[in-house]
Structure 1
Amino acid sequence: MRIFKIILLCLFVALGISCKSGRSIVASGEVDVKLSAKQLIKESGKRNARFKTLQAKVKIDIIQDLKESSYTVNLRMEKDKTIWISATLGLARAMITPNRVQFYDKINNQYFDGNYKLLSDLLGVELNFEKVQSLLIGEPLYNLKDDIYIISMSDNSYILQPKDQNALLELFLLFNPSHFKMDSQQLLQPLKKRFLQIDYLGYQDVEKEILPQNIKIIAVEDTEELNVVLEYKSVSVNEEVRFPFRIPSGFDEIILFDAK
């Protein structure tokens, strides 16, 4: 099933969300109907993450076809440079950098070694390390200075969307009025019957940074749906980290995508 293959790879990337055990933030702010799109973009930019490194244990729940499975992984990250994930006993390991996406699986003696072009072609979205990282730390997927946006309001969020939506890819960004981080990012590809939604269910204050605490990812393709929930158990930031990674010899290459 292709959507499972998409999310399998995206899941390794998605573990790059940064947060730290800290004080949960109670989002009690109210929307300001006078706020302009330009002001919202400026306020959002002030909240961009500034940490250098991160270590964490992440609990992952995957729900598909009414079946649920749970995993816990170790995560290490050097902002803007490397995302490293290791399963229990190193049975599976992944390393994502600006130029490469790599992982291997010792249970099945398989590996993947590729770049973002494969993901970009499949998802219909130009993807790179910066966009993935931004999405996963509660920041907008796209650089908001590269387009003209319009603003609207719901009861609990500011809604930002391009003034001229692309018929092939519609984008909706929901911002929290308390701290101007993301409440939700939604990408819709109507012609391909694809929908991706990333909901930020809670934030926490970590060393004066506002970072995600719980995230839910919903991916739909045609009639297939997959849900991934991420919960961060413990984190340390700005400590020295290492990224040991070597694909074992004799492993078979994983082919995740259709050739077409």
Structure 2
Amino acid sequence: MKEFKIVVYFVFIVFLVSCKSGKAVLNSGEINKDISAKQLIRENSKKQAKFKTLQARVKIDYTQDLEEQGYTVNLRMEKDKTIWISATLGLARAMITPKEVSFYDKINNQFFKGDYKLLSNLLGVELNYEKVQSLLLGEAMFDLKDGKYVASTSENSYVLQPEEQSALLELFLLMNPSHFKMDSQQLMQPLKKRFLQVDYLAYQDVEKQILPKDIKIIAVENNEEVIIAMEYKSVSLNQDVRFPFKIPSGFKEIVLDDTP
């Protein structure tokens, strides 16, 4: 289970780099302390990424227990439909669709195929395709129009948080005053000693789309901490892409305990 959990973090977080070498977006915006939560949500919704497909090569540095590993993967996405990654030489491959999460690993001859309930329990956050895709693009993981939020400021960011925080899940969204995309998304589950922080360290303008450039992830459960840093290598938008995915015969299925 522990090994598979590491794989899930890798598969989940590797999708977060969806950017192109382009013009850097400068953080030149000034904080307006009188801005309302409704205004922030409206400005944020205007900046949602608009493209059909994306493909890129991504370098990931993964650190756990002071041990660091590096990966280079191919990433492809068809917006709202499919997210696909493939490690070097196809040794591992994953595909996420609105209905299903699939993964196979040729090194250990194993595969996983299931719904979002299992991954939600494993990562401690209720997931679906839309939430994963939003995280990839520097957009809010939760639909901000569905709840009531209050606005405040913290150093160089706006802060949105639910008007009433849940005892089970506390949420803080830091928004950039220059372009109103996410600076950071922080999810805490104090009772389960879980914490997930996604920091968008820099953005860039790619074909008139503001997309993440540098991202750092910190995931904590009890005393275990995983840190993932990502560096884009290249990306192209709106090109024809394929999503080859076939689980090899003879592989052993990974079956998870779906209890929370």
Residue 16 of structure 1 deviates from its aligned partner by: 2.6
**Structure 1 residue 218 corresponds to structure 2 residue 218:** yes
**Structure 1 residue 65 corresponds to structure 2 residue 54:** no
Residue 51 of structure 1 deviates from its aligned partner by: 0.9
Match of 1:199 in 2: 199
Residue 228 of structure 1 deviates from its aligned partner by: 0.8
Q: Percent identity?
A: 68
Q: How does 1:1-260 map to 2 (within 5 A)?
A: 2=2, 5-17=4-16, 18-257=18-257
Q: TM-score when scaled to structure 1?
A: 0.95
1:158-198 per-residue CA deviation (whole Å, 9 max, x = no partner) reads 00000010010000000000110000000000001110000
1:228 partner amino acid? I
**Contact 2:204 / 2:213 at 8 angstroms: preserved in 1?**
yes
5+ long unaligned stretches in structure 2: none
SS of the residue corresponding to residue 117 of structure 2 reads helix
2:11 partner amino acid? F
**Contact 1:203 / 1:213 at 8 angstroms: preserved in 2?**
yes
Residue 259 of structure 1 deviates from its aligned partner by: 5.3
Alignment root-mean-square deviation, CA: 1.5
**Contact 1:95 / 1:102 at 8 angstroms: preserved in 2?**
yes
2:102 partner amino acid? Q
**Contact 1:13 / 1:96 at 8 angstroms: preserved in 2?**
no
**Contact 2:117 / 2:258 at 8 angstroms: preserved in 1?**
no
Counterparts of 1:122 and 1:48, CA distance in 2: 28
SS of the residue corresponding to residue 135 of structure 2 reads helix
Structure 1 stretches of 4+ moved >6 Å: none
2:12 partner amino acid? V
Counterparts of 2:4 and 2:108, CA distance in 1: 16
**Contact 1:132 / 1:141 at 8 angstroms: preserved in 2?**
yes
Residue 21 of structure 1 deviates from its aligned partner by: 1.4
1:113-148 per-residue CA deviation (whole Å, 9 max, x = no partner) reads 111011223344321000111012100000001000
**Contact 2:64 / 2:226 at 8 angstroms: preserved in 1?**
yes
Residue 19 of structure 1 deviates from its aligned partner by: 1.2
Residue 157 of structure 1 deviates from its aligned partner by: 0.1
SS of the residue corresponding to residue 31 of structure 1 reads coil
1:60 partner amino acid? I
**Contact 1:5 / 1:256 at 8 angstroms: preserved in 2?**
no
SS of the residue corresponding to residue 117 of structure 1 reads helix
**Contact 1:100 / 1:115 at 8 angstroms: preserved in 2?**
yes
Q: TM-score when scaled to structure 2?
A: 0.95
SS of the residue corresponding to residue 61 of structure 1 reads strand
**Contact 2:57 / 2:232 at 8 angstroms: preserved in 1?**
yes
